[in-house]
Chains A and B, each alone.
Chain A
């Protein structure tokens, strides 16, 4: 069974540019989550999809971040325009149901904004 995959693994962009991160969850997982870890701090929740619907986006830092999940499959997280403080590692995770199920995490995308 393929795990959660994320693309790209690393991205270096200049302040003001746009970046789109992609996450492919495990097949059949309706729940998809985005998290971010900034500068060695704790991993923080960004948002949660159930299929194509946003269940909770309370962790999104501001309106420069836009997440989509077309057709309930893969998800994208766009940052436009990027700021220096957006640098960090963005993790995606997926799970089967909404209960105390473990979430399966991808390897993350390391974003550096210069």
Chain B
């Protein structure tokens, strides 16, 4: 079994300040973890993924996330928010091994960036 908890449904930051979107997971298997972003009227776009290599993962648009097994967390960060970062973000977990993948989504965090 697996689950994902996104701790904040809404986050508001000022442009140029750091972004932190929190995600905790539970999984009976070694997990792969992903962050997706959805801009209005667009499909979900992959930001970054952790599959078993380096625990600090860098993604697109300056985002990164750190896999912390001891804390069962995979928080998403960005040093400086840009107006274009305003969107909804989803943390996703899936079993790493085995031939079949079944993803579990978090409930999403809406990021607001204030000019």
Report which A residues bind B (CB closer than 8 A).
3-4, 9, 33, 35, 40-45, 48, 55-56, 91, 93, 95, 98-108
- Residues in A neighbouring B45, C-beta threshold 8 A: 105
Closest chain B residue, CB of each to CB of A55: B100
Whether the pair A107, B43 counts as a contact (CB closer than 8 A) is yes
Contact among A9, A35, A43, A98 for B100, CB-based, below 8 A: A98
Query: Known: A100-B32, A105-B44. Is A44-B105 also a contact (CB below 8 A)?
Result: yes
What are 11 inter-chain pairs, A to B, with CB distance below 8 A?
A40-B108, A42-B107, A43-B108, A45-B102, A48-B102, A91-B43, A98-B99, A98-B101, A102-B34, A102-B49, A107-B42
Tell me the complex Cα distance, A55–B106, Å. 23
Whether the pair B105, A100 counts as a contact (CB closer than 8 A) is no
Query: Known: A102-B46, A105-B36. Is A42-B102 also a contact (CB below 8 A)?
Result: no
- Residues in B neighbouring A56, C-beta threshold 8 A: 100, 102
Closest chain B residue, CB of each to CB of A93: B44
Tell me the complex Cα distance, A91–B88, Å. 15
Question: Does chain A have a CB within 8 A of B90?
Answer: yes
Whether the pair A4, B102 counts as a contact (CB closer than 8 A) is no
Question: Does chain A have a CB within 8 A of B56?
Answer: no
In the complex, how many residue pairs between chain A and chain B have their CB atoms under 8 Å apart? Answer: 54
Within 8 A of A (CB), among B83-104: 90, 94, 96, 99-104
Question: Does chain A have a CB within 8 A of B41?
Answer: yes
- Residues in A neighbouring B96, C-beta threshold 8 A: 100
Among B90, B96, B101, B102, which residue has the most Cβ atoms of chain A within 10 A? B101
Question: Does chain A have a CB within 8 A of B51?
Answer: yes
Closest chain B residue, CB of each to CB of A102: B46
Tell me the complex Cα distance, A93–B43, Å. 9
Tell me the complex Cα distance, A9–B41, Å. 9
Tell me the complex Cα distance, A97–B17, Å. 39
Tell me the complex Cα distance, A41–B88, Å. 12
- Residues in A neighbouring B108, C-beta threshold 8 A: 40, 42-43
Contact among B36, B101, B104, B107 for A100, CB-based, below 8 A: B101
Whether the pair B106, A42 counts as a contact (CB closer than 8 A) is yes
